[in-house]
Structure 1
Amino acid sequence: MPFPLPIDLVGWLSFAAACLTLLFGLIALFAPRIIFAVLRLQPRQSYPQAIGEARSTLAGFWLGVGLVGIFLFDQPFVQFCLGAGWLMSAFGRLVSILSDQGANLANWLFFLLMLALAGAALLPAFGLIG
């Protein structure tokens, strides 16, 4: 079965969002301490099993959605799912910025990255680009 690559901007946007999601998942699975460092989190010495949270919850979700997004990048439902996930992540980040005294450069950059990934998946899904 041949694996088709995107041939236009619409396909490449959602494909790129899925690839980045997959990349984040691979990093969370194989190097969870990097993800924790980027997110400025640190597991307690007395709870080393906390690393498993990055490997399961973060990596598992990102890998699953990223893989499906890569293989089915041209399906609107898949684009909606990928975009909605990143949009809700951006919303959670915004709530944190406004409610948790988290208005720092890193949080704003993560917020913009999440919005960009959401837009890359949702714009083609809604037919707003292409």
Structure 2
Amino acid sequence: MPMEFSLPQTNADTLAFAAAAVTALIGLFALFMPRLALRALRLTVQPDRPDAVAEARATIGGFMLGTAVMSLLLFDQPMVQMVLGAAWLFSAFGRFVAILSDHASTAYHWLFLLLSLVLAAMPLAAAFGLIAG
């Protein structure tokens, strides 16, 4: 029996779907334009060590895209929503630790901390029923 793809019908599902879509866009960007993605993250590639480009494609792009595609397909499943939300929440936690421990308290890091928190809150609010249908 083929699996049907449906679009979100409720506000909660729309939030989870939108967070997954943003994650997919970030993943696609890192997968197909890794040098630009690294530059956007303020990282540089050593000319004699192009491994960083492969790492951006695989770890940033591939992992985010894989998580996002499954979240787009199964956006109405609470466990999938929790996984996506937890991933963004731990990303925010890592950013917060960097701000405190690595002296990275810049507008750039605070903006990306806020973005990570918003992207975490969207699917978690849906998973925990905090958004009315």
Q: Shorter-chain TM-score: which interval?
A: over 0.9
Q: Does 1:129 align with 2:131?
A: yes
Q: Does 1:19 align with 2:21?
A: yes
**In angstroms, what is the RMSD of aligned CA positions?**
0.8
1:1-130 superposed matches below 5 A: 1-130=3-132
TM-score by length of 2: 0.95
Distance 2:122 2:45 in 1: 33
Q: Which ranges of structure 2 fall in alignment gaps of 5 or more residues? A: none
Paired letter, 1:113: L
Distance 2:61 2:13 in 1: 24
- Write out per-residue CA displacement over residues 82-108 of structure 1, whole angstroms, 9 at most, x where no aligned residue: 000000000000000011110000000
Distance 2:99 2:30 in 1: 23
- Write out per-residue CA displacement over residues 25-47 of structure 1, whole angstroms, 9 at most, x where no aligned residue: 10001001121111100011110
Further displaced range: 106-115 or 44-53: 44-53
After TM superposition, the runs of 4+ consecutive aligned structure 1 residues lying more than 3 A away are none
Distance 2:51 2:102 in 1: 26
Q: Which ranges of structure 1 fall in alignment gaps of 5 or more residues? A: none
Following superposition, the deviation at residue 2 of structure 1 comes to 3.7
